[in-house]
Amino acid sequence: MTETPKNKVLNQNIGKSSPAHVVDVYAGRPAQGHSGNLTGNRRILKDSSAEIFNYMQNWKLYQDRGCVVISNIFNLRLELTGVRFPDRLSGLVNELKTLCDKMAEVVKNLKIKLKNLIAVSVLEKSNATPLFISWTAGHFCKVTEGLVEAYQKELKLHQSLLLRIADCTDPNVLLFYLSCWTYQPYLDHSIEKQLHCMIKETRHV
């Protein structure tokens, strides 16, 4: 590897994603062909979609904060090249661990929502009529399953990076870990697209 330039301090905004937005579970327009407050399975699907969207926004906040923490670890390693365990390192690693724990909670909540959607899909199995615009209950399940699978893989990557970052003393390698954390290879643009399609389908936007 090439030598890391001295005094190369990382910008605190590195790796930040687009701003997170929150969807009001109780907001939005009624389902197509229905007026007033929704009930039953439509209500479950609408509320679950908003909650899934908001879980993803929480993940985005933890992800962005993690980029800042890893950047701070990188800068600390540059500042104290001869010290294996600087005093400030423990606090930064602990914060990164807390962020990973919060990400794990997001995945746990996603799995719970998926179980709820599967239950609705079973009840609606004989109903081929879309509950909102064009999606059946089964399609809500299919999309959510894809989200859960992608975020599970990304969580495992983040947890693996956490262990490596804690012991890494090479700034060049830390830059590689920061890149892995930042670009989230298992969360491509299709994930974001499907998420927004779900919110549009349930007429939250």
d(CA 13, CA 185): 20
Q: What is the pLDDT of residues 128-186, one digit of tens each?
A: 888 888 999 999 999 999 999 999 999 999 999 999 998 899 999 999 999 999 999 99
pTM greater than the 0.85 cutoff: no
Q: What is the pLDDT of residue 203?
A: 83
How far is CA 164 from each of CA 71, 74, 79, 103, 159, rounded to the nearest angstrom?
Answer: 15, 13, 20, 18, 9
pLDDT of residue 37: 64
Q: Which helix (H) or strand (E) holds 98?
A: helix 87-123
Does the structure show a pLDDT above 90 at 24?
no
Token pair, residue 199, equals 């919110």
- d(CA 139, CA 117) in angstroms, rounded, equals 10
State the pLDDT at residue 134: 92
DSSP one-letter code for 131: S
Two tokens at 47? Answer: 């509320």
